[in-house]
Chains A and B, each alone.
Chain A
Amino acid sequence: MSLFLQRTFDSLANGSAYAALAVAISMVFRSTGVLNLAQGQLAMFSTYIALVLATGPSPYMKFSSNTDLIGAAWPVWAAILGAIAISMVIGAFTERVIIRPISDNPVAAVGATLGLYLLLGAFVRKQWGGRTMFLGSPFPQTAEDRWDIGGARLWHDSVGITLTMIAVLGLLAVLQRRTKAGLAFRAVTSNRTGSLLVGIRVSRVLMFGWALAAGIGALAGGLIAGEINVRPDMMGRLLVFGLAAATLGGLRSPVLAFVGGYLFAFLETMLGGYVSFVDSQVTLVWALLVLIIVLFVRPSGLMPRTEAWQQK
């Protein structure tokens, strides 16, 4: 029982990252119909921004002379907040400059997000190299920072990451339900032409959606960097799980995508822990197989069937 509990606790941090990426992907897909395949790379890039802010001028960085403007190293939490702000600007810029001119053509839009994917990967590899770097966690991470529950260890940073993500989702829900911007976002996702007719500035709302998604991705990257460290391919695996989780949510429901993220992390940990022939390296594959089976049996994922068929 304690082993099961331990594995459940272990899945929390990864689950938060998957959930955050899944929420970001479904937010963009829901509002624009574009599958943002660069979401993971955007998160990776913002993690590097957080790293630069947290490290300050460093001789190990290729562009160390540019960090003089930042001054002394920032605390990790401040660096992550700074990276979120910068990422939101990048997200809005991406929507305005890259996506909007071709938004009427889904193939071109997906191609553009893939272009961004390659561009960010190439930039990071050429500026920072391919080696692993350490950002650290904004939450206490020493060996003593834990609670012992039922013989299992619950680490403070896992709880901190999970609670942060739940708080962010709560804030997002409040933003969508209680503010004018949220109402406009909901209107645009529901009926774009109708929104235009009632005077909502659709393009601005979409830009806001992209900025918000980039911010959530940056948060995911910054928080998970304390667990998996920073390197150019850090988001490949997370992106696949994020996409799979978003699929479970029918690609349109941030709440179900969030739940899907934790479900996948739980599944990944349990498969790796209890099934003897599933190596921890290939849990990704088994999770994908599960996803295919789920789509076979229930194509709408966790979403009610009627809503899923309406999307076709």
Chain B
Amino acid sequence: MATEMTTQASSRFGVKRLAWIIGSAIFVGLCLRVAFAATPKIVTDLSNVIALSLAFAGLVVLTHYLGLLSLGQGAFVGVGAYAALHVVNDFGAPVLWMPLAGLIAGTLVGAVVAIPSLRLPKAYLALLTLSLGVAFPIILKQVDGNLPVTLDGEFIAPSWTGIAENDEHIWELFLVAAYASIAIFLVQGLLRGPIGRAFIASRDQPEAARAFGIPVYRLRLFGVALSGGMAGLAGGLLMVPTNFNDYTHFPEELSIKMFALAMAFGGSRLISAVPGALVLIFLPVWLIDRNWVVEYGWVGFVKSEGFIYAALLLATAYLTKGRGFMSLFESRAPKPTLKPSNRRVTSVVRGLVELDTQLGELEGLVAKQSDSRSREETND
């Protein structure tokens, strides 16, 4: 029985993996097609979507894995963008290091915000991050001034890529996609392992998690720093296609919109970060294309970005109880009880099940024997 279940599970896993590989290959093919065929504007927008997906994935980690609220994700993205530009402009670092500078800066700021706020109830993190979201554009304006800061460097594709010199947007898209894929791969691995399970345990049963030896405070701190780092990396990646930064790029509304979208589309999987990034980038373009932004009065109100985001947030709160619309599509089928990922555990469980079967058979034999013995006694 146990062997059968394990075989079934492994064959299902194999099919799933194959589907993933085929899906990824099709996706990469599509991306290549779009990168070489679409206009530079669309390619740049796609680069921004990929970069922002990372920031949304950070919010998914925080909100859906740890049950914490960050209302300053836009500020973390801004911190990453600032660090990325200045590490090249002021320290002469190679342009390819920009995203790494964003990652480090975002992680550090995340940790600084998390250390004091996580010692208190969860609301304090929301409060401090919101404050950071409001304060960040003011800080940036003070530090960088009113004028945009432009990158002192450029992304030139190596000759082996075959990308023409004036098609740098294609090379930038590949760079952003490569960084984002590596980051998502690492974070996904992290979330599937013991750390991801500890995140969920600390979210659902913090006291029980503490009793099992999980350091809940340190784990949450790590989660916030990870989320900040992902947003910082997103900021660094945003600077790859954009090449300039100023204080108007990261207003407080950006953080609130990001939270709204992460809440609305965020399921328990990192892939749910993509729709949020798509809406954030393409909704304003769509509204401008329809000339809705210039309408006033009641009609203008209903057609405004603020109304759309507010409706999305309220609908998420009511219809999904804050879990997000993607969670409605996640399968709720009960998982097989025997599915340990560790080989040693599998063999132990299999041995135990076999032992249980043998014991059952032995009990049957003993019962049969005692039954025949008692019958003999009755006959006597």
Q: A residues near B, CB below 8 A?
A: 29, 35, 37, 62-63, 98, 101-102, 105-112, 114-119, 121-123, 125-127, 129, 236-237, 239-240, 243-244, 247, 251, 279, 281-282, 284-285, 288, 291-292, 295-296, 299-300, 308, 311-312
Contacts and interface: CB of A to CB of B under 8 A. Distances in A.
B296 A126 contact: yes
Interface string B200-228: 00000000000000000000000000000
Contact of A115 (B122, B124, B313): B313
B307 to A, nearest CB: 5
Interface string B305-329: 1110111111011100110000000
Interface residues of B, number: 55
Contacts of B159: none
Contact of B130 (A115, A125, A243, A291): A243
Closest 5 CB pairs of A and B: A122-B306, A108-B322, A115-B313, A295-B116, A119-B310
B67 A285 contact: no
A264 B297 CA distance: 38
Contacts of B306: 118-119, 121-123, 125
A247 B112 contact: no
A interface SS class:
helix
B263 A111 contact: yes
Contacts of B317: 102, 105, 108-109, 111-112, 115
Contact of B313 (A63, A114, A291, A295): A114
A281 B122 CA distance: 30
B131 A295 contact: no
6 contacts: A37-B126, A114-B313, A115-B310, A119-B307, A244-B131, A288-B132
B301 A126 contact: yes
Contacts, number: 155
A118 B138 contact: no
Given A125-B304, A296-B115, A296-B116, A251 B310 contact: no
Nearest to A128: B296
B323 to A, nearest CB: 8
A126 B126 contact: no
B259 A127 contact: no
A282 B67 contact: no
A127 B297 contact: yes
A29 B123 contact: yes
Contact of B120 (A107, A292, A308): A308
Given A107-B322, A114-B313, A122 B263 contact: no
A267 to B, nearest CB: 15
A292 B139 contact: no
Given A122-B307, A243-B127, A312-B120, A281 B141 contact: yes
Contacts of B128: 291-292, 295
Contact of A114 (B67, B260, B298, B321): B260
Given A285-B135, A295-B119, 19 more contacts: A37-B71, A115-B260, A117-B310, A118-B253, A118-B310, A119-B306, A119-B314, A123-B307, A126-B295, A127-B301, A236-B134, A236-B252, A244-B131, A284-B134, A285-B139, A291-B131, A292-B112, A292-B113, A311-B121
Contacts of B291: none
Most buried by A among B131, B304, B307: B131
A218 B283 CA distance: 33
Contacts of A127: 296-297, 301
B231 interface: no
Given A62-B297, A292-B113, A281 B142 contact: yes
Contacts of B304: 122, 125-126
Contacts of A119: 306-307, 310, 314
A110 B263 CA distance: 11
B256 A281 contact: no
Contacts of B134: 236-237, 239-240, 284
B69 interface: yes
A285 to B, nearest CB: 5
Contacts of B112: 292
Contacts of B257: 118
Interface string B12-24: 0000000000000
A110 B126 contact: yes
B63 interface: yes
